[in-house]
């Protein structure tokens, strides 16, 4: 039998994006990045425009759910962002954040259960 309570408890794409944004934002703060602009809207790239040591950096954030690899990115999208970044003499980084259910990665991710985060920092592109 299909359990509808699990569907209601499943995090939305926007909720996962917000968790990924918080994860990356906290990391950027800890590393001393200066925020120039933040765009938390889903599918509006880049999500962060930052400065560090006078270098402008565009950061694209993507949330994934296990078994997807958080380090995999959309090359076409990133090429588009790189082209835009060149106009501002900015570099581009990708921040993939993976989520999985903490008690068993193979079970569906739901809000009422603890989750694990797979984030290994920014990938320079």
Helix ranges (H only) for 1-125 are 4-8, 13-30, 75-86
pTM of the model: 0.89
Cα distance between residue 103 and residue 27, in whole Å: 25
> Based on the number of CB atoms within 10 Å of its own CB, is 103 exposed (0-12), middle (13-18) or buried (19 or more)?
exposed
Structurally, the chain folds into a number of domains equal to 1
pLDDT in tens, 12-47: 999 999 999 999 999 999 999 999 999 988 888 899
Could you read off the pLDDT of 83-121 as tens digits, one per residue?
999 999 999 999 999 999 999 999 999 988 999 999 999
Q: What is the CATH number of the domain that holds 31?
A: 3.40.1350.10
Structure tokens at 3: 């359990």
The pLDDT, as a whole number, for residue 4 is 46
The domain in which residue 31 lies consists of 4-124
- pLDDT classification of 3: cutoffs 50, 70, 90: very low
Torsion from C-alpha of 108, 120, 14, 94, nearest 10 degrees = -140
Q: Which of 8 and 1 is assigned the larger pLDDT? A: 8
pLDDT confidence of residue 5: 47
């Amino acid at each position: 039998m299909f359990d509808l309570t699990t569907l209601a408890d499943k995090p939305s794409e926007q909720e996962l994006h917000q968790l990924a944004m918080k994860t990356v934002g906290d990391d950027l703060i800890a590393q001393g990045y200066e925020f120039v602009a933040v765009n938390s809207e889903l599918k509006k790239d880049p999500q962060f425009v930052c400065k560090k040591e006078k270098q402008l950096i565009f950061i694209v954030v993507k949330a994934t759910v296990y078994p997807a690899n958080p380090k995999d990115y959309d090359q076409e999208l990133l090429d588009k962002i790189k082209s835009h970044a060149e106009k501002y003499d900015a570099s581009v980084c990708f921040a993939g954040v993976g989520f999985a259910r903490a008690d068993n990665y193979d079970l569906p991710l739901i809000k009422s259960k603890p989750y694990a985060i797979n984030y290994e920092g920014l990938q320079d592109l």
